[in-house]
Structures are given as C-alpha cells and as structure tokens.
Amino acid sequence: MNKVHTVIVLAAGYGKRMNSNLPKVLHKIGNFPMLEHVIFNAKQLAPENIVIVVNQSLRENLSKLSDIELITQESILGTGYAVRTALHNLTELRDLDIIVVQYGDTPLIKSSTIIEMIDILQNKALVCLGFKSHKPEYGRLIIENGALKAIVEAQNDTVKREYLANAGVIVAYAKELHNLVRKIERKHEYHLTDIVSIAATCGLEVGYVVTDEAEGIGINNRDDLIKAEVYFQEDKRKLFTDLGVTLVSPKTLFFSLDTQIFKDTVVDPYVFFGPGVTVQSEVRILSFSHLEHCVIMKGATIGPFARIRKNTTIDDHAIVGNFVEIKKSNIQRNVKIKHLSYIGDTEIGHGSNIGAGTIVCNYDGKNKHKTRIGRDCFIGANSSLVAPLNIHDNSMIAAGSVIVKDVPKESFAIAREKQIIKENFNKQLKDNKNI
Ligand code: UD1
Ligand code: CA
C-alpha cells in the first residue's frame, strides 16, 4: 500500500562551493561517493525506479551505474526545474504512485526516516523533512499551528540561531507533485521549496518529520564533507557496537559504507576498513591494520600492521601477523604468516606455516603469476618463491632459499649457497694483525 514507486535524486547542480573538478556528489564519505550512499539507502525502500537527475559532466562520470536511470537536466535552473525535468521523463507514473524526491548532496538520510514520512502522507499533499540546525545557509521550515506553511530560503540571513532546516526530502503522490511543481514560478531559479507555500495557499495540508543534523546535513563545501564523515563514522561505530563487536578505541577506527563486522570480533585501536571488507565473528584485528576488498573468516587474527588487499580470503583461525601484505590470495584455515611477508596471487593450504620474511615473487615485470602452496607445508624464513610455482602438500623449504621449480609432496627443497667453514681463520687473522 505505502510502497515507494520512484525515488528521484537531484544531482545536476554545479556544486561550485566544493571548489573541485570532481562533481560534488562523487566526493566520498566512508570511502564511497555520496551519491552511492543515497542510492544505497534508496534501494532499501525497494522502489520500482530510482532516477538521478544529472548534468552532462556527471553523466559522463556515471556510466557504470547500470541499474539506475539517468535523466539529463539541460538547463541548470534550480531544484524545482530539476524535478520538473524528471517528471517530464517519467511518463508511466500513475496518480497515486508514491514519489520520493531527494538531493544527491544529503547522503546520510536514512530509509527508515523516509518510511516514517510515507506513514504520515495519507491525505496530505506532501511531507517534508526538517532538522535542527545552527548553520545559517539552509532553507527554513515555517510552522504555523503545527502545520508546515512554507520553506523560506536563507539567502542573506547570517544570524546563527537554532531553527528547523529543510533537509530537502519530499514525499508525495505523483499527481499532487506534478500539479504543485508546475506552479513554481521562476525567481532567479525555480525553487522546489516553493511547493510548500503553493500547497498551503491551495488549502492543502503539508506534513513534516523532524530529524537531527547528523542525518539531515547537506554538503556544499569541504567543511561540510568533513562534518558528514564524522557523523557517518559515529553512526557506524554505534551500529557495530549494537551488533556485539568490541571496538577498543572507537574514534580511532575508519569504516566504509559497506563494511560488515560480526559479533564478538575485537578491533584494536587505529584500524582502517576500506571498501568491500567483511569480518566474520570472533576475529581479532590488531592495531594499524589496513584492509580492503577482503573476507576475514571466523576466529582469524590480523595484525598489528597487516595490509590485506583486494580479493583476499583469510580462512578460520588463520594468523596474519605484523608487516604482512597479502593480495589476491586464499589463505586457508590455521595457516600462520606471522612476520614480514609479501603474499600475492597465492593459495595456501590449511595448516601451512610461512616463515618470517617469505616473499612471493609473483611479477616478472610484465605478468602476474600464481603460486600454490599445499597443506601443512613449512616455508623457512627469508625464502623467495618465484611464481609460477607449486609447492605440494607436506613439503618443507629451507630458510633463505630461492625456489624456482615445483616441489613435490612430502619433500624438502633447499636452494642456497653451501656454507663454508674455515676453521681458525679468525684467530689467525687476529694473531697476524701486526704483520
Ligand atoms: C537546497 C534547498 C534548501 C535546503 C538544502 C538542504 C532549494 C531551493 N533549496 O539548498 O532549502 O535547506 O538544499 O541541503 O531547493 N540540483 C539540480 N538541478 C539544479 C540545481 C540543483 O539537480 O538545477 C541539485 C544539486 O545537484 C544538489 C541539490 O539539487 O544535489 C540541491 O541543490 P543545491 O544548489 O545544493 O541547493 P542548496 O543551496 O543546498
Ligand atoms: Ca546543497
């Protein structure tokens, strides 16, 4: 019944206040462009359609968003004009379809808040979202006798006092939105916010929901971006703590939009979670570790000072210690790589022990090659494993070896200069020192 039909995201503005060559909505929060936050949250509403109103430069940057419709706003004439452009292109809409309009530069709006807005839509013309703010630049919600009568743009008002700011989200039925948007008159631009006073003048009721700045913040400049990042990180910390994750020093951690961490995992201070990280339960992540695009399975230990890079899986109870870098590798359960290693394009079978300073030489200057280490192998410290290479189950490599040929199972490979002992050489050197 209250299902959202279409989410319209406005992102065609120039974003000049950002002072950047990158379109504003592509600046990142939690390692993801703010536009992706908006899309991520919009998808939670399971709408039939998500459309983004873009300008030409943003369209060129967004070619990879395959499941989202882009509508180009040819003349950048304001938020009212952007919605008009979108509705003009959405020809299939029926009168009672529920439309959500949202700005691409308000990335922290939650789907649960939009659902709250839809819940009170009923026989109202539309519902807006406000938040308490001291920052002068937002539009102001004007409430009279408990009803929203207008949104007044801040323009030259620089007085810093708390007021109810417009977060820029509108929920309405398609027909109503169409009728109201058509009536917006051009001032300097077409202001979407004018539809509130237009509705009120027509005797229509406008509802509103109130949230806080941590959700409603709009990003116009880099200062706003920093604030939004702080709010985003606070929110993630709370989420993980509620899920039963122990964050030893929460403010020193950095999470991404898609970070997943499960119950009873302990994260020590100063850990960076880049995009695409899943950490299963009962994992321990020690300080100064840097993870991206990887899966860490139950009971594993990572760090301190570990770098886990893209396409890596660390299986149950494996131990990856200090100054170990792993890329595009599958590290099976109970493997130990405890100190000072580079492991790339490698599979390591369960129970193997990789000695300190082991380096996989995966790159020949042109191509990357694979290394396979079987189960229960022992790789002696300071070995170089030159790929492509297979070291089969239960074999052992002597410390300091440079291994260039495959090693059969159950065997021992040694590949280094023989040690020479010259007995009494040092004594003679000492005795003859005056010669
Ligand atoms: C807008 C609101 C203001 C609100 C604030 C919330 C209007 C007139 N003002 O102001 O009430 O408090 O957001 O953050 O709506 N856009 C287009 N096409 C255009 C112009 C803008 O798609 O022609 C897009 C922008 O890319 C942006 C969004 O609409 O994502 C808002 O535009 P912006 O210029 O940032 O409006 P604000 O001045 O922040
Ligand atoms: Ca804005």
| Span 37-58, pLDDT tens digits | 999 999 999 999 999 999 999 9
For residue 263, which amino acid is it?
K
Residue of 52, 76, 79, 153 best suited for mutating to test ligand 1, as the one with most atoms within 8 Å of CB: 79
The answer to the question of whether 146 is labelled as a binding residue is no
Mean pLDDT of all residues in 179-193:
96
* pLDDT value for 434: 59
Q: Round to whole Å and give the CA distance between 231 and 201.
A: 37
- In this structure, what is the dihedral angle of CA atoms 170, 174, 180, 182, given to the nearest 10 degrees? 120
Residue of 103, 190, 224 best suited for mutating to test ligand 1, as the one with most atoms within 8 Å of CB: 103
CB contact at 8 A, 226 and 146: no
pLDDT(158) > 80: no
* pLDDT value for 66: 66
The pocket around ligand 1, CB under 6 angstroms, is made up of: 10-13, 53, 73, 76-79, 81-82, 103-106, 138-139, 151, 153, 165-168, 191-193, 218, 220
Q: Round to whole Å and give the CA distance between 245 and 247.
A: 6
- Phi, psi for 389 (deg, rounded to 5): -155, 140
Mean pLDDT of all residues in 95-111:
98
The pTM for the full model equals 0.94
Q: What is the Å distance from ligand 1's center to 84 Cα?
A: 14
Q: Whose atoms come closest to the Cα of 73: which ligand?
A: 1
Handedness of CA 416, 422, 423, 427 (dihedral sign): negative
pLDDT digits (tens, 9 = 90+) for 233-261: 999 999 999 999 999 999 999 999 999 99
Q: Round to whole Å and give the CA distance between 57 and 384.
A: 48
pLDDT band at residue 126 under the 50/70/90 scheme: very high
Q: Which of 16-20, 282-286, 302-306 has the lowest mean pLDDT?
A: 16-20
Report percent pLDDT > 90 for the chain. 91
Mean pLDDT of the chain: 96
Element (H, E) at 42: helix 34-44
Q: Round to whole Å and give the CA distance between 36 and 282.
A: 30
User: What are 139's two structure tokens?
Assistant: 């539009």
* pLDDT value for 17: 94
Report H helices in 335-424.
Answer: none
List Cβ neighbours of 89 (8 Å cut-off, separation of 6 or more). 51, 71
Mean pLDDT of all residues in 381-409:
98
Q: What is the Å distance from ligand 1's center to 138 Cα?
A: 10
User: What are 88's two structure tokens?
Assistant: 């003009």
Q: What is the Å distance from ligand 2's center to 419 Cα?
A: 71
Angle subtended at Cα 161 by Cα 79 and Cα 16, rounded to the nearest 5 degrees: 35
Q: Which residues pair with 166 in a beta bridge?
A: 130
DSSP 161-202: --EEEEEEEEEEEHHHHHHHHHTPPPSSS--TTHHHHHHHHT
More confidently predicted of 435 and 289: 289
Q: Round to whole Å and give the CA distance between 136 and 158.
A: 5
pLDDT digits (tens, 9 = 90+) for 287-327: 999 999 999 999 999 999 999 999 999 999 999 999 999 99
Q: Which of 66-80, 248-262, 354-368, 379-393 has the lowest mean pLDDT?
A: 66-80
Q: What is the Å distance from ligand 2's center to 137 Cα?
A: 9
CB-CB neighbours of 137 under 10 Å: 16
Q: Is 369 noted as a catalytic residue in this protein?
A: no
List Cβ neighbours of 16 (8 Å cut-off, separation of 6 or more). none
* pLDDT value for 159: 61
* All domains in the chain, ordered by first residue: 4-222 (3.90.550.10), 245-413 (2.160.10.10)
Q: Round to whole Å and give the CA distance between 6 and 142.
A: 27
Of 290, 339, 350, 392, the active-site residue reads: 339
The answer to the question of whether 306 is labelled as a binding residue is no
* pLDDT value for 176: 97
Q: Whose atoms come closest to the Cα of 192: which ligand?
A: 1
pLDDT(99) > 60: yes
Query: In terms of Cα–Cα distance, which of 338, 334, 363 is closest to 351?
Result: 334
Q: Whose atoms come closest to the Cα of 154: which ligand?
A: 1
pLDDT(1) > 90: no
* pLDDT value for 323: 98
Q: What is the Å distance from ligand 1's center to 103 Cα?
A: 7
Q: Round to whole Å and give the CA distance between 302 and 396.
A: 25
Nearest-atom number in ligand 1 for the CA of 219 is 14
